[in-house]
Amino acid sequence: MNESVQNKKLRTAVIGAGKMGTIHAKVYDQLPESDLVAVVDIDAAKAQRLADQYHCSATTDCAEIMDKVDAVTIATPTVTHLKLAKIFIKKKIAVLIEKPLAANVREGRKIVALAKKYGTVVAVGHSERCNPVAQAMKRLDIQPKFIEANRISPYPFRSTDVGVVLDVMIHDIDIILSLAASKIKKVDAVGVNVVEDKEDICNARIVFENGCISNITASRLALKTERRVRVFSRQAYLSVDYLKKTGIIIKADPNINVVKWIKDHKQTGGFDLTSVNWPDLLHIEQLDIDDKEPIRLEQEAFLQAVTDRECTPEVSAQEGLAALECAQKILASVKKHKWKEKIVVDT
């Protein structure tokens, strides 16, 4: 083990100086357990500009930092993830790969296999799992029966190498898999490409073996941004907003006599039930949310897993692969249900 790992001061680097790489570099520079030593990008000028902000070195070649780092974040186009991850994993340098894990399931499985073979920590940057709202839902430890997720936004002019499923729906796929905690039984989906060659809008319905059902919608062609999730379970009903970092819980257990109360008043007669304010009969409370930066939580868990191998990243390579496998099932269903253009003849 490197001396820096033993001292819990990890030498870190960011591969990719784009938007996500810039965010990761900023957080690495702020973390007390991190010493940001380098930025790598094929664009030398871009790498140098980001490196200058944090007084670290810049390079276009990963080979130049191999003996200088303990952990790296790969924030490059998805198609490069396997190639870059392989370089570091074989050197037993911990890797945090921005979502999705890889361009396809085959490559994702190779990364998971490499991590296991070389005993290297590999995490996946599903930062929405670290969203305070998702963390609050996790603490409730509920068993959902139905999950509805909507993630829509105007066109982002980025991540054009992948469609909306691997770009943004993958966030909700990861969270839903962690909540459902069951194998997938069936997937039905439809997607439409409008701007790009790949799907820009998609809706998927996932049925799990334990009976849970999920309905997910993702779009990058909306006029506004919305990130909402609703969860129905025996323990509670949740309605959460990832963007506003707010949510409410309606718990079922304290309200078990509500139906009896309604029946009793119906039988007695002379009581106008339309005058009853429904929320007054429910136990409603605001979701207890800690306002912490998701990527900071993500990186803290990642570096902790590097320092202490009994700890695990917030999203492991295996979990990232599961999300990718689910996404592939959705894309296969989209392809199966591909819309055929109808030719209209003007008579």
pLDDT above 70 covers a percentage of the chain that reads 85
**pTM of the predicted protein model:** 0.85
Q: Which residues contact 277 (CB under 8 A, 6 or more apart)?
A: none
Q: What is the pLDDT of residue 3?
A: 47
Q: What is the pLDDT of residue 6?
A: 52
Q: Are 124 and 317 in contact (CB under 8 A)?
A: yes
Q: Is 80 exceeded by the pLDDT of residue 106?
A: yes
CA distance 274 to 278: 9
pLDDT tens digits along 119-170: 999 999 998 888 877 877 777 778 899 999 999 999 877 666 789 999 999 9
Amino acid residing at 145: K
Please give the backbone phi and psi of residue 131, each rounded to the nearest 5 degrees, phi first: -60, 135
Q: What is the pLDDT of residue 114?
A: 98
For 38-42, 63-67, 191-195, which range has the lowest pLDDT when averaged over its residues?
Answer: 191-195
Query: Model confidence at 4, in pLDDT bands (50, 70, 90)?
Result: very low
Task: Kindly report the average pLDDT of the chain as a whole number.
Answer: 88
CA distance 106 to 150: 28
pLDDT tens digits along 227-265: 999 999 887 888 989 888 888 888 754 555 666 666 676
What domains appear along the chain, each with residue ranges and CATH number?
A: 3-126+295-327 (3.40.50.720)
Tokens of 76: 């490059």
State the SS3 of the chain: CCHHHHCCCEEEEEECCCHHHHHHHHHHHHCCCEEEEEEECCCHHHHHHHHHHCCCEEECCHHHHCCCCCEEEECCCHHHHHHHHHHHHCCCCEEEEECCCCCCHHHHHHHHHHHHHHCCCEEEECHHHHCHHHHHHHHHCCCEEEEEEEEECCCCCCCCCCCHHHHHHHHHHHHHHHHHCCCEEEEEEEEECCCCCCCCEEEEEEEECCCCEEEEEEECCCCCCEEEEEEEECCEEEEEECCCCEEEEEECHHHCCHHHHHHHHHHHCCCCHHHCCHHHHCEEEECCCCCCCHHHHHHHHHHHHHHCCCCCCCCEHHHHHHHHHHHHHHHHHHHHCCCCCCCCCCC
- For residue 187, the number of C-alpha atoms closer than 13 Å in the C-beta half-sphere is 21
pLDDT tens digits along 311-337: 999 999 999 999 999 999 999 999 998
CA distance 143 to 212: 9
Please compute Rg for the chain using Cα positions: 23
49-72 per-residue burial string, b: 16 or more CB within 10 A, e: under 16? ebbeebebbbbeebeebeeebbbb
